[in-house]
Amino acid sequence: YILRELDIRWHEIPTDHSIPVIEKNGQYTMFRSEALGLEQSAKEKRDSLGDRIAKMMELRAENPDAHRIMWHDLEAERHAIDKAIPGITSIYGSQDYEKREKNILDFSYGKVQELSAKPVIAGSGCKFQRYCSWAIYLGIGYKFNDFIQSVHRLQRFLQTDTVRIDLIYTESERGVRKAL
């Protein structure tokens, strides 16, 4: 079976260099580095959350009626998505298992237009291709397996449309993008 084409779009958000970075040894860094470790990457995600949410909203405005999934990694991102998109369905780890399963099934069968989830929770095994061909990643990370599995929730057998993948990241995360 030949899978539908992937339309991957990268969206770089400028890094705010006015926010001071204090290293563990107490030294200040004048500019944020591209060489982000996991801890620095999480801080970069928190510091740029407002700008990334604004970009997500801009992308959503291109087709307000589309079914899409918002992938995120941090709980703060989920809360920001829930606040920015009233009525969005979210799934998360501490959620009642039956509720989480219902939300996934409702999205899978087109009863829910938009879903917010972490790739580690819904990025493997779910089948979203029947009603969804668009994913927006509120951020990027180093975990390629989680990423590609989440892409394959849409790009799979029975998908009838080109699969659009929008990845939002900051200037300081260029190294993460390259690794991904």
pLDDT, tens only, 13-52: 998 766 665 666 766 655 555 555 677 777 888 899 999 9
Got the DSSP string for 84-131? HSTT-EE--TTS-HHHHHHHHHHHHTTSSSEEEE-HHHHSSS---TTT
DSSP-derived letter for residue 34 is S
55-66 residue pLDDT tens: 999 999 999 999
- Amino acid identity for residue 8 in this structure: I
Percent of the chain with pLDDT over 70: 88
What's the pLDDT score for residue 15? 86
What residues are paired with 10 via a beta bridge?
167
